[in-house]
Amino acid sequence: MKESSIFIVGANGQLGTALRAHYSGAQYADVGELDITNRESVESFDWSGIEVILNAAAFTNVDGAETAEGRIAAWNVNASAVANLARVCQMHEITLFHISSDYVFDGMHEPHTEDEPFSPLGVYGQSKAAGDIAVSLIPQHYILRATWVIGEGKNFVRTMLGLAEKGVSPTVVADQIGRLTFTSELVRIIDHLLTNKAPFGTYNATNSGNLASWAEITRIIFSITGYKDLTVTDTSTAEYFAGKDGIAPRPLGSNMDLSKLQSTGFTSRDWKEDLQDYIAKEKETII
């Protein structure tokens, strides 16, 4: 397949940036060039020659989605806009890759398999679940369920590295358990499914490796970077957000079962290996 037949939507986000770097010949747009919430713009766009749309666009501000304005924005981008993309994909026989989230579940039924019924706790998760339903209606689709995405942009690893540089010993949530998903891994998964013409459908799509809490991940980040003097204090999600308004409920269990993806011949990378590489690159940038 020619890379020019691939179109990346939401191209400036964490995943969009990684996809653009990998598929350097692909066409792409972010909200400035193509606002996917605008049905008319999406339908009148020139899709000729496009065989695959990679949808990396989303409203990802989980707490922002709980506000009056954010609720509308989240539903627009994560649900209505996704229906717009699904519609044009069906019209033009384009394959749609869409990224979903562990937040479509309440985190109580682990490991999460692809056929678990939706049980989102907050507005972000509800809007993402609605997007999944829209995509599932068209035959040529892949829905990839990611967790805790780390790439080029604002993310947990960068936040913790920033605190460490300032000499802050943080208090970190220890009762949310999951795995990081590096955008490099998501790109490898997308490329694998596309190249191998894997059966259409929903796939859990995270790195492999031991499950860990955010606090444990922080200790590993500090150990890799050599911040030996800093300590990480465990707290619970409830304690961490106590007294703060407008906080979205979070699923505590984000263990995604990777066996369906692996049955397609994909070998997942351990998140700790990708974390080492990520931190090494971050250090190069700082130097």
Catalytic residues: 124
Residue count (the chain): 287
Binding to ligand NAP by residue 30, rule CB under 6 A? yes
Tokens 């996917």 locate to: 36
Taking CB under 6 A as the criterion, the residue among 111, 153, 170, 209 binding ligand NAP is 153
- Cβ proximity to ligand NAP, 42 vs 227, nearer residue: 42
Binding to ligand NAP by residue 58, rule CB under 6 A? yes
Burial class (CB in 10 A: 0-12, 13-18, 19+), 15: buried
Q: Which stretch binds ligand NAP (CB under 6 A): 27-35, 63-71, 258-266, 270-278?
A: 27-35
Binding to ligand NAP by residue 107, rule CB under 6 A? no
Contacts with ligand NAP by CB under 6 A: the residue count is: 26
Taking CB under 6 A as the criterion, the residue among 6, 8, 15, 190 binding ligand NAP is 15
Taking CB under 6 A as the criterion, the residue among 6, 7, 8, 12 binding ligand NAP is 12
Name the closest residue to ligand NAP (Cβ): 13
Binding to ligand NAP by residue 106, rule CB under 6 A? no
Taking CB under 6 A as the criterion, the residue among 6, 36, 89, 187 binding ligand NAP is 36
Tokens 């398999």 locate to: 113
Whether 23 contacts 49, CB under 8 Å: no
Residue 125 in tokens: 């998760």
Binding to ligand NAP by residue 114, rule CB under 6 A? no
Residues sharing a CB contact under 8 Å with residue 111, sequence separation 6 or more, in sequence order: 255, 256, 257
- Cβ proximity to ligand NAP, 30 vs 106, nearer residue: 30
Binding mask 244-283 for ligand NAP (x = CB under 6 A): ----------------------------------------
Beta bridge partners of 158: none
Q: Assess whether the previous peptide bond of 111 is cis (omega < 30° from 0).
A: yes
Closest separation in Å from C-beta 30 to ligand NAP: 5
68, 87, 151, 266, 287 from 46: Cα distances, Å: 34, 14, 30, 34, 43
Binding to ligand NAP by residue 194, rule CB under 6 A? no
- Cβ proximity to ligand NAP, 66 vs 227, nearer residue: 66
Whether 224 contacts 282, CB under 8 Å: no
Q: Specify the 3-state DSSP secondary structure of 216.
A: helix
- Cβ proximity to ligand NAP, 77 vs 227, nearer residue: 77
Whether 129 contacts 98, CB under 8 Å: no
114, 133, 146, 197, 218 from 202: Cα distances, Å: 6, 11, 11, 14, 30
Burial class (CB in 10 A: 0-12, 13-18, 19+), 175: middle
Taking CB under 6 A as the criterion, the residue among 50, 89, 146, 252 binding ligand NAP is 146
Residues in touch with ligand NAP (CB under 6 A): 9-10, 12-16, 30-31, 35-37, 56-58, 60, 77, 81, 99, 101, 128, 146-149, 153
